[in-house]
Amino acid sequence: MPEIIVGTIVLGLLLSPQLLAGFLAKRTGRNFWFWFFISFLIPIISLIILIFLEDKNPAASGYKLADHVDREKGLVSDAL
26-70 pLDDT, tens digit each: 999 899 999 999 999 998 899 999 999 988 876 555 666 677 776
What single DSSP character describes residue 32?
Answer: H
Q: Is the pLDDT score of 76 beyond 60?
A: no
Residue type at position 43: P
40 Cβ neighbours under 8 A, 6+ residues apart: 18
pTM, 2 dp: 0.63
79: confidence class by pLDDT, cuts 50, 70, 90:
low
What single DSSP character describes residue 57?
Answer: -
